[in-house]
Structure 1
């Protein structure tokens, strides 16, 4: 299965603290553990031609993983439309952390995708509330992160089709941190953790969730539905 990990790759260029945590970029860290899990993983970044998401790349991608934060507005609308169409046609999409505000996630959700947030080095505990779900395979009752950015409700998204994780934060907030959707033939998984200054994507349980999420979001290979004016399957008796 071919996975493309997309990252705007701006924090890594500007912030030494982020570069110290992810010296090769967040995208390379994620692609690295996905490759170790057996996926054919490649990366794409904002400043590449067509943001690295050419038709050739998109057409050969089974699951697209998306991380963005400070440059959402720089993603060209025509590229967003191409990604959207690929999702509708069956490509999986895994949206991470601040990708909740990405153009592609907002257009697929149809809402503002807004939320509360706070950077205070606080503990996050992600409770597995759907242990039978494939994305939760191999996990215990919860994942605990010593330090993370807080995201709090209300999270302005459509009601998830399946809710896999709910986070609790040291400051008291809770958050729907693992949400799944289908759009057209494509499956979408939103997963909350991953602030750029914390080593979240080095955590083995977080890696397991993303790896499971990619497997879950993979295309099913079902036949594309036929739309429009249709000829009858059986003879229609004249009235």
Structure 2
């Protein structure tokens, strides 16, 4: 009888411990620089993205901004962060190099996930992470500015819409997502000068004002050391992209995919 009681108590204890670990709260920090137009994003882009992440169960969602103390990422906050989502546009150069080094270390050495959005392709952390592996010289010769890692072939405000096509429906980031179209007035044209991605999850067709179509990659994944990284091309600040239900689903999926296993 005593053996059965002890075994039962042990099973309850193990179950409780397992449940605590399985349900442990994780943290996503959504960072932006505070330059999006208020008419489109009254709470800035990090506010819109954070709102879209409320669907995630068991996650603490923190908004961070360039103007915050420690540029929004103190050592304590960065060390508790499981996934960092980043949008930037005109103030890339204001981000401190020391902070960039810490972000790279957290991703590469400690497994923090990193999600870069639209014009964050030129953000210092994105360039630093993409510079850890080799990019084809052929790609670097075809982008603007020439030779720059994480640059695109062109950046032109001549598009009307962007149709996002699911290229890899089996990938976790594509879960629950079908092809969809959003208003998008700035196109990024291939090639994208980055190391070969592990997976291309989404591609896109920008419809231009003259009626022609410009095809490009839209969602790409990498594994960088111990960390995972996702770049999503859509997200021009004058368009309400981050209020779109499909885009929010993609970012939420990306956060869960990029999170390190506890």
Specify the TM-score bucket, using the shorter chain as the normaliser: 0.7 to 0.9
Aligned residues: 214
TM-score (structure 2 length as normaliser): 0.79
- 1:54 aligned residue: 74
Q: Note the C-alpha offset of 1:48.
A: 1.4
Q: Note the C-alpha offset of 1:121.
A: 4.4
- Residue by residue over 1:130-170, the C-alpha shift from the partner in whole angstroms, topping out at 9 and shown as x without a partner, is 00000000012x12113331011111111111000011111
- 2:117 aligned residue: 96
Q: Which has the higher helix share?
A: 2
Task: Find the aligned partners of 1:83 and 1:103 in 2 and give their Cα distance.
Answer: 10
Give 3-state SS (helix, strand or coil) of 1:207's partner. helix
Flag the structure with larger Rg.
2
TM-score (structure 1 length as normaliser): 0.86
Find out whether 1:20 has 2:45 as its counterpart: no
Residues 122 and 150, structure 1, Cα contact 8 Å, conserved in 2: no
Residues 148 and 193, structure 1, Cα contact 8 Å, conserved in 2: no
> 5 Å matches for 1:47-196?
47-88=67-108, 89-110=110-131, 112-115=149-152, 116-140=154-178, 142-171=179-208, 172-196=213-237
> 5 Å matches for 1:19-38?
19-38=38-57
RMSD: 1.2
Give 3-state SS (helix, strand or coil) of 1:42's partner. strand
Task: Find the aligned partners of 2:241 and 2:225 in 1 and give their Cα distance.
Answer: 31
Structure 1 residues not aligned, in runs of 5+:
12-17, 222-239
Residues 137 and 212, structure 1, Cα contact 8 Å, conserved in 2: yes
Task: Find the aligned partners of 1:22 and 1:120 in 2 and give their Cα distance.
Answer: 22
Q: Note the C-alpha offset of 1:47.
A: 1.3
